[in-house]
Structure 1
Amino acid sequence: MDTIVPRKNRKNKYILIASVVFLLLTVLVVMSMTKKRSLDVSSSEVSIKSVMVENFEDYIVFQAKVEPLNSMLINVIEGGSTQEIFVENGDFVEKGQPLARLYNPNTELSFMNQETAMIEQINNLNKAKLDLRTQELNLAKDLISIEHDYFDAKNLYDLNQKLYKQEILSKNEWETTQENFRYQTERKNIIQQSVQKEKKDNQILIAQINQSQGIMQKSLQILRENKKNFLVVATLAGRLSSFEPVLGKNYSAGETIGKIDVMKGYKLMADVDEFYLEKVSEGQKANIEYKEKMISVIVSKVIPEVKNGRFQVELQFENNKELDLRQGLSFGVRLLLSEKTKSTVIPKGSFYQETAGKWIFVVNGDKAERREIKLGRENPLYYEVLSGLKVGEKVITSGYKDYVEVEVLNLNKN
């Protein structure tokens, strides 16, 4: 007789196995997500420095060149091609000394035409003035003739008046004499008024003509002076620099062909990174080393225009009477931005290029872990630490180019 064997329920067994597998996978995923990304690095490949407290001095260092205290540019006044060169770069010149001669035939012809036109206008004004004088003279002649007629009529009037009273002269002749005298009197008065008015008008016109002639003479003088501008001369005494005109080369009006340095005192000119534009201002003190001595200089001018990421700074010596300087010498300038203060600092390093000072690797035994930090001021030696690091901790200051995505560095001694 067959025995009935009960069938085992395998469904619960499968569910249990699936649960265990799912739990293991979950643990692995969580571990992989929470595990910090690490990288093995030889300790000899990185630079490890200590966080310390130092007298922090905010300053910058840049190169500056010696230039004369005062210079004047040599500009071309009338453009043209270089015809003659009388001096060489580096020569000492006196005020008014010819430096070079330029020539432009078109400008020369224009000057000649303008000069001819001005002379013609001056001659026309002279003719107009002469015509007014002639007109005055003719009026004066007419007035003399009229006055002569008047006096004749007056004498006849006086004589006939007596004759009429003596009844020697007829009434008709006397009335004719009276009418003629009245006519000559009015005629003389009218002409005299006309002559006086004409004289006043002519005086005004002649004054205007004289004024116009004066202006034309000045314009003509300026034009003739401008013809001399083809000759480039030294505007002051000094030494030529950057003076390199080329024979036959055309130069435009206003173009600079060199400068004259006044050899009385020197200054320093420097190009500084635009990062420091807001930190550099007039009156700040700096120093340079010259012949094993520290020389004090002061910022005299800041030119805020930025070109190619840099702006210009002018510095003057506080006392350069005993300095034997030469144009073109270069000095390293140490410009103070703040006084010395005790601060927590770390040495400067190339790590900043990748982190911008927002994080750093902090060494702990044979590992270096990534940590958020905050940096403040800087100078050529140190970064000021504001938060995130303690004095005595060690950090990696070398470059992080290969560690940007890494959170832990395993430091190997081999």
Structure 2
Amino acid sequence: MDIQLKKKPWFVRHKYYVLGGVVFLSLAAYTVALLFSPEKQRVSADTLGLAEAVQADFLEYVEQEGVVQPMLSLRVNSRISGYVERIVAEEGARVRQGDTLLVLSNPELLDEMEVQENALHKQLMSYREQEIEMEQKTLLLRKQVLQNRYELQRISDSYALSQEEFRMGIKSKAELEVARQEYEYKTRAAELEQESLQHDSAATIVRRSLIRNDREQEIRKFERVKAKQEWLVVRAPLTGQLSNLTVVPGQQVQAGGEIGEVKVLDRYKVRVTPGEYYIDRIVSGLPAKGTYKGKPYAMSVRRVVPEVKDRMFTVDLAFTGEVPPSLRLGQALRVQIELGNPERVLTIPRGDFYSVTGGQWIYKVVPGENRAVRTFIRLGRQNPKQYEVLEGLRPGDRVITSGYSRYGDVEELAWDE
């Protein structure tokens, strides 16, 4: 007799199909979850650079490494062309104002001096001859005036005697008239001689003045040529250190050609090159601080060169008080340029997140959990140690500030304790 077997449930009969379907649906659900959930990345807790957003005093400043340079330096140029005959001062030597740096030679200048000297002697002789001629003419006129005065006095006496004789009846009226005419003629001749002498004296004064001016002009002309001989000796324009000596013995130097530079050693400036981000913030007069061997020194911005080159510009700073001892040209000095007064604001420390995110977002740690999520923020001012936070964080929020080059663009980071 046949025994009727009990029929198994469908899920038992098709258990392999059911199991396969469950696995497929699980994989599909996991895939959908990955597609529609934030991208995550697990990181090591030891590699995290964690920091906290806090209310703190914020001072906006620029910190740069500057180079010590002389406050004043003068270029040494040749005032005349020539060949370098001898170099007296070595590069790097300390020189005093007026010290000889080098000696030039110029044969053409020596020839020109000789020609000018000969011409000057000839001109001086010619001027002297003209003066002697004028003196002789003046003497001759004075002699003539003296002779006329003598004749006039003699005629005057004779005319007076003739008048007396006429009254006494010794001379006739005709003889008296002849004496009177001769007296008047001599008187008029003496007046003309005196007038001629006066005119000659005035002309002589003018001619002497012209000759004197011509003589002085010729002498100055010769002295100018002679002074060029002094230019062959190149001297230090001020006291300092000779540097950048660019000539060698035998080299030809043109007039105005650069020979070297003298740097003043008793006054210094510090040159820094901040980024163009600060070009509208740094102006002359801003306070600054330089640190030398661990000691701060007060400084201020002396000059700003607004030309941007390679995304940087030049700023010169000067010491406003004590100058560091034993400071040397070319030495490095750490300086801070203050851009305002301290303010109480929300801050976070600087980190490499800025170079990756541009300061637009940051990973903020979820309170009580070992994960951080991407959070949009807005930053304000910055200094070498801090960023000012304007939006996106509150005091006490913890954020990740470093390691962003390893995280890519994930939405969430997670780690184990």
Instruction: Please give the TM-score of this superposition, normalised by the length of structure 2.
Output: 0.72
Q: Which of the numbers 185, 188, 207 marks the counterpart of 1:186?
A: 188
After TM superposition, give the deviation of residue 183 of structure 1 in Å: 1.1
Change in Cα spacing, 1:319 to 1:367, as seen in structure 2 (3 Å) is: closer
Change in Cα spacing, 1:202 to 1:81, as seen in structure 2 (3 Å) is: same
After TM superposition, give the deviation of residue 346 of structure 1 in Å: 3.3
Change in Cα spacing, 1:144 to 1:369, as seen in structure 2 (3 Å) is: same
Q: Secondary structure at the match of 1:282?
A: coil
Which stretch of the first structure deviates more once superposed, 223-232 or 387-396?
Answer: 387-396
Q: Secondary structure at the match of 1:210?
A: helix
Match of 1:287 in 2: 290
**Does 2:391 match 1:387?**
yes
Aligned residues: 370
Match of 2:173 in 1: 171
Q: Secondary structure at the match of 1:245?
A: coil
Q: Which of the numbers 198, 201, 204 marks the counterpart of 1:202?
A: 204
Contact 2:40 2:414 in 1 (8 A): yes
Q: Which of the numbers 375, 380, 388 marks the counterpart of 1:376?
A: 380
Alpha-carbon distance in structure 1 between the residues aligned to 2:82 and 2:308: 31
Match of 2:322 in 1: 319
Change in Cα spacing, 1:384 to 1:251, as seen in structure 2 (3 Å) is: farther
Alpha-carbon distance in structure 2 between the residues aligned to 1:397 and 1:237: 52
Contact 2:305 2:313 in 1 (8 A): no
Contact 1:98 1:231 in 2 (8 A): yes
Match of 2:28 in 1: none
Contact 1:287 1:296 in 2 (8 A): yes
Alpha-carbon distance in structure 1 between the residues aligned to 2:272 and 2:110: 43
After TM superposition, give the deviation of residue 224 of structure 1 in Å: 1.8
Q: Which amino acid aligns with 2:63?
A: V
Deviations 1:81-123 (A, max 9, x none): 3221112112333443321012344555555555555555555
Root mean square deviation, CA, Å? 3.9
Match of 1:267 in 2: 268
Contact 1:64 1:268 in 2 (8 A): no
Q: Which amino acid aligns with 2:384?
A: P
**Alignment of structure 1 residues 67-82 onto 2, 5 Å:** 67=69, 71-82=73-84
Q: Which amino acid aligns with 2:270?
A: M
Alpha-carbon distance in structure 2 between the residues aligned to 1:294 and 1:393: 35
Q: Which of the numbers 83, 99, 102 marks the counterpart of 2:101?
A: 99
Alpha-carbon distance in structure 1 between the residues aligned to 2:403 and 2:101: 57
Q: Which amino acid aligns with 1:267?
A: Y
Contact 2:49 2:402 in 1 (8 A): yes
After TM superposition, give the deviation of residue 180 of structure 1 in Å: 1.6
Deviations 1:213-253 (A, max 9, x none): 34543443343223211111234444433334222333343
Change in Cα spacing, 1:37 to 1:183, as seen in structure 2 (3 Å) is: farther
Q: Secondary structure at the match of 1:304?
A: strand
Instruction: Please give the TM-score of this superposition, normalised by the length of structure 1.
Output: 0.72
Q: Secondary structure at the match of 2:190?
A: helix
Contact 2:69 2:271 in 1 (8 A): no
Alpha-carbon distance in structure 2 between the residues aligned to 1:42 and 1:120: 104
Q: Secondary structure at the match of 1:179?
A: helix
Contact 1:76 1:254 in 2 (8 A): yes
Listed as ranges, the gaps of 5+ residues in structure 1 are 1-34
Listed as ranges, the gaps of 5+ residues in structure 2 are 1-34
Q: Secondary structure at the match of 2:322?
A: coil
**Does 2:142 match 1:137?**
no
Q: Secondary structure at the match of 1:243?
A: coil
Deviations 1:324-347 (A, max 9, x none): 333332222233333433322233
Contact 1:360 1:396 in 2 (8 A): no
